[in-house]
Amino acid sequence: MSLPIIILLIVIGAVVVLLSVVVVVAFVRSRRLAKVPALPPPCKCPACGSEQMDVFLSGLWDGEDSAGRGTGGTSQIGTCKSCGVHCQHLSVWDNDTKESRYESRVLTDEQWQRETGSAMRRQREASEQPFITGGQNHVA
Ligand SMILES: [Zn+2]
């Protein structure tokens, strides 16, 4: 095979992979939106069992399960008011049972910083420049 054909095949392969990822994400999103209204159970601290949590971040996430199928759900990251550990509560779409299940885990300092770092940076920038109107002149 000549080089241009190999490059062409690689490009086609990349496009196919990209398209399938987009389709899977769109499929998971639309299915999740149809199911979302079920309220998750109260967040329990994985370390001490307290339901009192200072939620720092909450939102949606997308990913893959252990079999490589698209999954996702809601995510809450916060600090336990009782024992002070950082923890994350996730709802995870289970492709086998076709239901969301819920997981709690303790975050290490490193994970906490990775999860919250960009949000903290945004908050700091917003508080330093409270009166931004229109376009930003200085992009860091
Ligand atoms: Zn706790």
Ligand 1 centroid to residue 51 C-alpha, Å: 8
Model pLDDT for residues 21-53, shown as the tens digit of each residue: 888 888 888 776 665 555 667 778 999 999 999
Residue 59 lies in a domain: yes
Ligand 1 centroid to residue 86 C-alpha, Å: 8
Ligand 1 centroid to residue 104 C-alpha, Å: 11
Q: Using CA atoms of 116, 119, 120, 126 in order, give the dihedral in degrees to the nearest 10.
A: -170
pTM: 0.56
Confidence of residue 132 (pLDDT cuts 50, 70, 90): low
Model pLDDT for residues 71-130, shown as the tens digit of each residue: 999 999 999 999 999 999 999 999 999 999 999 999 999 999 998 988 888 888 888 876
Domains of the chain: total: 1
Query: Counting beta carbons within 10 angstroms of the beta carbon of residue 64, is it exposed (0 to 12), middle (13 to 18) or buried (19 or more)?
Result: middle
Residue 102 lies in a domain: yes
Residue 138 lies in a domain: no
Ligand 1 centroid to residue 87 C-alpha, Å: 8
